[in-house]
Amino acid sequence: MSENKTTTSDTNNSVSSSEYAYWVRLAAISSSSVALLLVIIKFYAWLASDSSAMLASTTDSILDLFASIMNIVILRFALAPADDEHKFGHGKAESLAGLVQAAFVLGSALLLIFNGVERVINPRVIVQSNIAIGVTLVAIVLTLVLVIFQRFVIKRTGSIVINADALHYQSDLFLNVGVLAAIFLSQGIWLQADGAFTILVALYLLFGAGQIIYQSVYQLMDHELSDEDLAQIKSIVLAHDHALGLHDLRTRQSGAQRFIQFHLELEDTLSLLEAHSIGDDIETEICQALAPCEVFIHQDPTSVVPEELRASKTTSEK
């Protein structure tokens, strides 16, 4: 019996490892650049207007900038190839980064709540509202463009880090709209609007942080791939003419990389070379369907598969 291992090829119908690294790095650099620009213009607008909502928006952008820069550093580890000390790669660094991102989101949300409550208790009229409005409109446009690009990258890569980063900037869209509304309403219509909108955005951030934590822990705990992925793996294996079945299917995901292993049941009369060739064919098909991934196959003659295992497998397939 032999064991085979195949890594993903760059020529597949899914995103390759090199393409994944390119888009994730580009998204991280783009978000850092936008965050830096937003911090500068929002800080100026806060000094000019003394708006609580603008201060909260500026603080949120500072946290976004710090988190985005941290992403660039962490992604250097997460996207590094496997080495002697990390033979399964460094993909889990991305999930750890997601947890750190969630901590920044939680901190930002708490800060927004404190500022919002204070302004609700002690409302003040916003001065130089035209500057605050102009800066907020610019921030909305920049953030919207960035979020659209991040969603494109997430769709191609499924990156947890970029997904967490995108949450920051999606919340910025709501926050900026809230700032606009608060500025208008605080001009004698509803003075507490400045703080009330700040609190609403903070609650949205808290909900989003919970989602990031769930996704990150989901991968760190080596959860199985989705039911759709598992069904696709079984379908590919059983579609092969010489495959009599499979058992002990185990899967997990680390960053973008999927790891798949199982026992392949074959006829007793096949030669070692034939069994190896069949395993190679199946590995190639799985890698093309679920790239980037590594597949580990252990070939078993059908006669060595315990009878109770075959019986339970047949029952489950029915």
Among residues 220, 250, 275, which one ends one of the domains?
Answer: 220
> Would you say the pTM of this structure is higher than 0.75?
no
Q: What is the chain's pLDDT, residue by residue, as a tens digit (318 residues)?
A: 444 443 333 333 356 667 877 888 898 889 889 999 999 999 999 888 888 778 878 877 887 787 778 777 776 665 566 566 655 555 666 677 778 778 877 887 887 788 788 888 888 777 788 888 899 999 999 999 999 999 999 888 877 778 877 877 887 787 788 788 878 887 777 888 878 887 887 887 788 788 878 877 876 766 678 888 899 999 999 999 889 888 889 888 766 678 899 999 999 989 999 999 999 999 999 988 887 788 999 999 988 887 646 544 544 554
Dist. CA 143–CA 147, nearest whole Å: 6
Dist. CA 146–CA 163, nearest whole Å: 12
Q: Is the same domain home to 197 and 250?
A: no
- The residue written with tokens 């070379």 in the block is 273
Find all residues with CB under 8 Å of 216, minimum gap 6, and list them: 95, 96, 98, 99, 102, 160, 164
The pLDDT assigned to 264 comes to 92
Q: Is the same domain home to 256 and 213?
A: no
Dist. CA 35–CA 169, nearest whole Å: 9
Q: Is the same domain home to 159 and 231?
A: no
Find all residues with CB under 8 Å of 232, minimum gap 6, and list them: 289, 290
Q: 3-state DSSP call for residue 12? A: coil
Nearest in space to 295 (alpha carbons), one of 12, 62, 46, 40: 12
Q: What are phi and psi of 106, to 5 degrees?
A: -60, -45
Among residues 203, 220, 237, which one ends one of the domains?
Answer: 220
In a domain, 24, yes or no: yes
Among residues 220, 241, 262, which one ends one of the domains?
Answer: 220
Query: Computed over its alpha carbons, how large is the radius of gyration of the chain?
Result: 26
Q: Specify the CATH number for the domain of residue 92.
A: 1.20.1510.10
In a domain, 7, yes or no: no
Q: Is the same domain home to 105 and 120?
A: yes
User: Any idea of the CA torsion for 21, 26, 31, 36, to the nearest 10 degrees?
Assistant: 120
Q: Is the same domain home to 88 and 158?
A: yes
In a domain, 301, yes or no: yes
Q: Is the same domain home to 67 and 190?
A: yes
Q: Specify the CATH number for the domain of residue 251.
A: 3.30.70.1350
Q: Is the same domain home to 236 and 176?
A: no
Number of domains the chain is built from: 2
Q: Is the same domain home to 175 and 57?
A: yes
Find all residues with CB under 8 Å of 16, minimum gap 6, and list them: 8, 9, 10, 291, 292
In a domain, 9, yes or no: no
**Contact of 294 with 7, CB cutoff 8 Å:** yes
In a domain, 84, yes or no: yes
Nearest in space to 265 (alpha carbons), one of 208, 295, 232, 307: 307
Using alpha carbons, list the distances in angstroms from residue 38 to 43, 169, 172, 264. Answer: 8, 11, 10, 55
Q: Is the same domain home to 68 and 156?
A: yes
**Contact of 264 with 287, CB cutoff 8 Å:** no
Q: Is the same domain home to 148 and 242?
A: no
Q: Is the same domain home to 136 and 245?
A: no
The pLDDT assigned to 192 comes to 83
The pLDDT assigned to 78 comes to 58
Q: Is the same domain home to 32 and 171?
A: yes
In a domain, 181, yes or no: yes
The pLDDT assigned to 113 comes to 87
Range of the domain at 309: 227-317
The pLDDT assigned to 79 comes to 58
Nearest in space to 41 (alpha carbons), one of 176, 198, 228: 176
The pLDDT assigned to 13 comes to 39
The pLDDT assigned to 4 comes to 45
The pLDDT assigned to 273 comes to 92
In a domain, 3, yes or no: no
In a domain, 2, yes or no: no
